[in-house]
Structure 1
């Protein structure tokens, strides 16, 4: 069961009260972190009827946490077990099917695993603003001054939203940047909010926030803002906006650390996350969580912090990370060893989920890719053709995986020695990808780069030079440090210094 709604819509309280009313005799288990899900599964057989409580479900999704496999292991032995969870609308919408075209290679596996779990849920949408009948029923309880104040707030905000003081907290944060008010406090809150926007949903120690907030203070004016002391800033950020209220801009204490109130995370028009914060949270997060955060950093254009995390994730056995490193030209180990690991993962998934499950099909694509990197082109071509047909029947012919596998088949054809036929296939695959995904899609640009590289390796320098000029022009919209821009620039430099023009 999954309750979905905007921040402060009342999801957590509604789920908790429903559980108390309907399942009063069930045991209650609440994993605190992504890693705790795996710990829970280790002793799962001895547990009777219970509710597994996953507030803010996005914190638990992905490798090392709640995958479809882990969910099956939770549910299979216990027909009377309930997974009760909540999720903010902003996070839930990231996993909708229509969002799939916006997800490229780096984030695709994390997104796909999360989407697979959400497809199993019975979803209840909880609206932020109450209906007229709901407000009428609530007015019967006007003896509660907190409820009276929330109902008096008009219909612009939800009642639960007003009870949580969300709009007032957002306004207090915005006004705090005024010189002489609480600019250092606002910077502390900004750092804590960005940690959660990055995907790090754990409390941050005060000394870490103190170190990180300087960049946010400088962004808004630094000393010209006449900032207060750090102690004053922290006291202000922890003070309830409403007397005796439960919520403040930062929640927590010195012993446990501090975390930003979640209402602030989804506010519109927020500035880019500072690179120093990406480095910090990636270093602090456990490896599976760090991998998901690194994917977020990559998509946000902070590439340098992501590289070492992809390597750490690959060393921890996350196959998707190893595939990313190979595609970036930064392999962790020889292709032969990577292929053996990919085949092991595929076999394990087939035993658990069956041959045609989407996780198995994605794992098959990794096996085909590593087979090609081993120089076994005929075998890779056979695997790719077989997978393209199977995946098209599951996903449809225009799915990203199918388009990628078709390009892989063309790549193997060219590399096997059938260069004319292979080039025709490569161009056809890129045209189809361009039609479906658009000319600026990263996968399209990456495939065009690979064609140029294949032409260079085959000695067709003249054709490579022609294509690299067009690709340089079409990549002009990317940042100078974008990995595709860097690879295109390096290959263009090699070709410019080449005297050959075959």
Structure 2
């Protein structure tokens, strides 16, 4: 599919607010951002990446690959600030005839990188979906694509960019090293949540030309234009005005997400987590269909968007694997709830119902930070059983830190047998701390060089 034929909604552009006399489902007119017009802005960067080499010898050297430079342009900003729409409009303006690939995952990107077609755009909206895991997108894959003339375009929240690029604390494993290396390859474009004066002027021109959605969004004083366009205020209002049961389901989903869950939240998890968000009187008087009614409210569309979006498993129709909190609502409500105590029912539901080892590890770390060691231990153990080496390390440190060195040593023995170098080194350290010289000699005789 060529860029010019791509549907922006299917590429990740939020549904816009609905107003009378506007065709439902159509996007409002685009308001040019300052970065669209700047000499080092998003369009200029894409144009540079797609530019053909002028050096004759360089063109001959790359004849079997591509005559374009290639590059990686990353738009960074908060939720609903217009990153995705700005990226799409830039591609439409600069390289509308290029082929567009929207990969399913990092493995899909690697396959394409082996023999990419000419004039290819790799669409990496929500770049965090390709990062933060051992099988994620690597800098090597990105370089291979760029060396063959491909243009990579991605979007990422500011807070996630900061998290991926932060250096690890002293003595801690560098779990984001590959992500930092990949992000260093990108030309960054930062979008602010507030329109500049010149952007506001262009928005007013679009409104005066007849776009009622832009005109309606400009009237909001509490939110930025792009957030209003993405139905953000209505989602926040729906969250605030929810009844006790819908509010419980929404808060459980919001807390689970802020604790580190990135996979869809299944219904069983939300049902089990919700009671801790209700007071005793509401639990006592809950109707038999409280959860179904709450879920219906949370998934109802408010001016084109829903607080919880149902998601289908890959390659299926009419089935729901789980739910995801709307981005703007998560950012807004997650910030408000940043100091709120997560009830035990939510921690237990996460422990019982999470299946993705990356989710289990992240939530386990969140429990660890809050000194909720039983939940952290359970989550780390489950993730470690799915071969998460980072979870295994965190479990060892938790056990050792709680005075349970014997359990840590027993756990490490199993991982030493699997050839884990960390396990071999840490096992020696723990045995040495306890003065167990015979065990150390046995390890040395078995080939442990630590």
| TM-score between both structures, scaled by the size of structure 2 | 0.64
- Which residue pairs with 2:96 in the alignment? 24
Distance 1:289 1:269, change over 3 A: closer
CA deviation string 1:270-316 (max 9, x = no partner): 12333443454454332244323332332244332332443344444
CA deviation string 1:79-98 (max 9, x = no partner): 2233322222233333454x
Partners in 2 of 1:95 and 1:45 — Cα distance? 26
2:183 paired with 1:118:
yes
Displacement after TM superposition at 1:240 (Å): 2.9
CA contact (8 A) 1:95 1:115 kept: yes
For residue 272 of structure 2, give the secondary structure of its aligned residue in structure 1: helix
2:277 paired with 1:216:
yes
Displacement after TM superposition at 1:206 (Å): 3.6
Q: Which has the higher contact order (CA 8 A, sep 6+)?
A: 2
Distance 1:280 1:72, change over 3 A: farther
Distance 1:316 1:167, change over 3 A: same
Runs of 5+ unmatched residues, structure 2: 1-72, 312-317, 400-404, 438-450
Alignment of 1:240-279 (within 5 A): 240-241=301-302, 245-252=303-310, 255-256=319-320, 257-267=322-332, 268-270=335-337, 271-279=340-348
CA contact (8 A) 2:230 2:305 kept: yes
CA deviation string 1:146-166 (max 9, x = no partner): 111011224x42110111121
For residue 84 of structure 1, give the secondary structure of its aligned residue in structure 2: strand
- Which residue pairs with 1:304 in the alignment? 374
| TM-score between both structures, scaled by the size of structure 1 | 0.58
- Which residue pairs with 2:227 in the alignment? 161
| Partner residue of 1:183 out of 221, 244, 254 | 244
| Partner residue of 1:148 out of 215, 224, 242 | 215
For residue 305 of structure 2, give the secondary structure of its aligned residue in structure 1: coil
Distance 1:278 1:229, change over 3 A: closer
Displacement after TM superposition at 1:220 (Å): 9.5
Distance 1:312 1:150, change over 3 A: same
Runs of 5+ unmatched residues, structure 1: 177-181, 344-362, 376-410, 417-502
Displacement after TM superposition at 1:137 (Å): 0.9
- Which residue pairs with 2:4 in the alignment? none
2:308 paired with 1:238:
no
CA contact (8 A) 2:102 2:122 kept: yes
Partners in 1 of 2:373 and 2:182 — Cα distance? 28
RMSD over aligned Cα, in angstroms?
3.6
Alignment of 1:4-43 (within 5 A): 4-32=76-104, 36-38=105-107, 40-42=109-111
CA contact (8 A) 2:299 2:309 kept: yes
Displacement after TM superposition at 1:331 (Å): 4.3
Alignment of 1:94-493 (within 5 A): 94-97=163-166, 100-101=168-169, 105=172, 108-142=173-207, 143-154=210-221, 156-176=222-242, 182-218=243-279, 222-223=283-284, 229-241=290-302, 245-252=303-310, 255-256=319-320, 257-267=322-332, 268-270=335-337, 271-281=340-350, 283-327=353-397, 328=399, 329=405, 330-331=408-409, 333-335=411-413, 338=416, 341-343=419-421, 368-373=425-430
CA contact (8 A) 2:75 2:156 kept: yes
Distance 1:113 1:220, change over 3 A: farther
CA deviation string 1:193-239 (max 9, x = no partner): 22321222333344443333222224895457999843433332223
Displacement after TM superposition at 1:339 (Å): 8.3
Partners in 2 of 1:212 and 1:219 — Cα distance? 15
Higher helix share: 1
Partners in 1 of 2:190 and 2:325 — Cα distance? 24
Partners in 2 of 1:322 and 1:229 — Cα distance? 39
Distance 1:275 1:111, change over 3 A: farther
CA contact (8 A) 1:287 1:316 kept: yes
| Partner residue of 1:89 out of 147, 152, 158 | 158
Distance 1:212 1:128, change over 3 A: same
For residue 63 of structure 1, give the secondary structure of its aligned residue in structure 2: coil
Distance 1:326 1:27, change over 3 A: same
